[in-house]
């Protein structure tokens, strides 16, 4: 997954810091971060794009040499989503690391239909408007994920060149 900051892709040190701060945010909320939870979260950060549960399972078996049952992976992903350090992109049935795990927010993803990349943006003003509407309707919000699908800038350039 790309971030708004213009970081070079797969820069290990920056990703390590991101994972550390996400883990710290979970611990602050009293969540138990098991080795598996940390490993899955790291895999999401390192991938820099949305990953499906089966892809994650394969990645983990490759790196650890262990086989994980799909329900174990799903439970771990559910936990990370509940902790708001990851989010599920429904349209792709895939998971991404949340780029702002330290505070409660609506994850807004711009998902590219060509390359599958997902960029997370945050818009407190839009969020406030939606929260107000939900409140007015007496709706208790549990999960906040908004998706916009389309074509990312690099893919648009590629298609123009063809
Ligand atoms: Zn988020
Ligand atoms: Zn794209």
CATH number of the domain enclosing 48? 1.10.10.10
Residue 114 lies in a domain: yes
Query: What is the Å distance from ligand 1's center to 105 Cα?
Result: 6
Q: Work out the percent of the chain whose per-residue pLDDT is above 90.
A: 64
Measured distance CA(41)–CA(95) in Å, rounded: 10
Residue 60 lies in a domain: yes
Query: What is the Å distance from ligand 1's center to 78 Cα?
Result: 14
pLDDT tens, 29-83?
899 999 999 999 999 999 988 999 999 999 999 988 899 999 999 999 999 999 9
CB 97 within 8 A of CB 20: no
Query: What is the Å distance from ligand 2's center to 140 Cα?
Result: 34
Residue 142 lies in a domain: yes
Residue 20 lies in a domain: yes
Max CA distance (Å), the chain: 52
Query: Beta strands of 83-153 (E only): which ranges?
Result: 86-89, 94-97, 107-112, 118-121, 145-150
Residue 95 lies in a domain: yes
CB atoms within 10 A of CB 18: 21
pLDDT at 159: 85
Residue 4 lies in a domain: no
Q: Pairing mode, if any, of strands 145-150 and 107-112? A: parallel
φ, ψ of residue 105 in degrees (nearest 5): -160, 170
Nearest to 96 by CA among 83, 82, 80: 80
Residue 3 lies in a domain: no
Domain span at 29? 12-161
Query: What is the Å distance from ligand 1's center to 22 Cα?
Result: 11
Query: What is the Å distance from ligand 2's center to 148 Cα?
Result: 13
Whether this model's pTM surpasses 0.85: no
Query: What is the Å distance from ligand 1's center to 62 Cα?
Result: 28
Give the count of domains, the chain: 1
Ligand nearest the Cα atom of residue 22? 1
- pLDDT above 90 (res 119): yes
Query: What is the Å distance from ligand 2's center to 162 Cα?
Result: 15
């Amino acid at each position: 997954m790309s971030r708004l900051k213009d970081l070079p892709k797969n820069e290990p040190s920056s990703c390590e810091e991101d994972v550390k701060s996400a883990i710290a945010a979970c611990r602050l909320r009293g969540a138990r971060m098991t080795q598996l939870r940390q490993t899955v979260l790291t895999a999401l950060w390192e991938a820099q794009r949305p990953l499906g549960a089966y892809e994650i399972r394969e990645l983990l078996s490759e790196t650890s040499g262990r086989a994980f049952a799909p329900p174990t992976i799903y439970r771990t992903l559910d936990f990370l989503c509940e902790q708001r350090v990851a989010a599920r992109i429904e349209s792709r049935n895939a998971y991404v690391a949340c780029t702002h795990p330290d505070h409660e927010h609506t994850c807004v993803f711009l998902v590219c239909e060509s390359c599958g990349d997902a960029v997370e943006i945050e818009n407190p003003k839009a969020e406030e408007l939606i929260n107000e509407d939900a409140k007015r309707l007496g709706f208790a919000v549990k999960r906040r994920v908004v998706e916009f699908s389309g074509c990312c800038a690099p893919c648009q350039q590629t298609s123009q060149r063809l």
